[in-house]
Amino acid sequence: MQHSDDQLYVQIDKLYKSFRELRRRTDFKKAVTGGVWFFQIKKSKTDGCWHPHIHAVVTGDFFPRRRLSRIWCEITCGSLVTEIRAIKDPAGAANEVARYATSPGDISSMSPDDGLEMADAMHGRRICGTWGTD
């Protein structure tokens, strides 16, 4: 999602809703048969904005980044940043995914106010999930 000065819980709501919409899109569903996703939050040291985002490992046919970016931009009303690439090293990918699963957000390096905002925004939310079948 684009950097925003919206409250963190608002940004997370938008991100989850947008990701759900992406998975419902016909052309995405035709190419992607399923996957696993992990939520992560970072805070920019440059502008102080929150950056909630999702990492996903998907199965299925090739899905061009240009098309993914176009659909994501449409769903999110302007967010262009997407990354998609084939997994060439399954062990390396598993290691990377394990890091996401264990690190949704690092409150140890945040101010008490930021840590509280993150904890409040994440309360009761899933930080990972699966969908589809392969």
> pLDDT digits over 28-60, tens only?
999 999 999 999 998 888 888 999 999 999 999
Question: Which residue range(s) make up the domain with 93?
Answer: 8-127
> Is the residue at 2 inside a domain?
no
Q: What pTM does this model have?
A: 0.89
> Is the residue at 3 inside a domain?
no
Band the pLDDT of 9: cuts 50, 70, 90.
very high
DSSP string, 7-26: -HHHHHHHHHHHHHHHHH-H
Give the integer Cα–Cα distance in Å for 38 and 85: 16
**Which residues sit opposite 128 in a β-bridge?**
38
Q: % helix / strand / coil in the chain, to the nearest 5?
A: 45, 20, 30
> Is the residue at 134 inside a domain?
no
Give the integer Cα–Cα distance in Å for 23 and 19: 6
**Which residues sit opposite 32 in a β-bridge?**
60
> Is the residue at 64 inside a domain?
yes
Domain count, the chain: 1
Percent of the chain with pLDDT over 90: 67
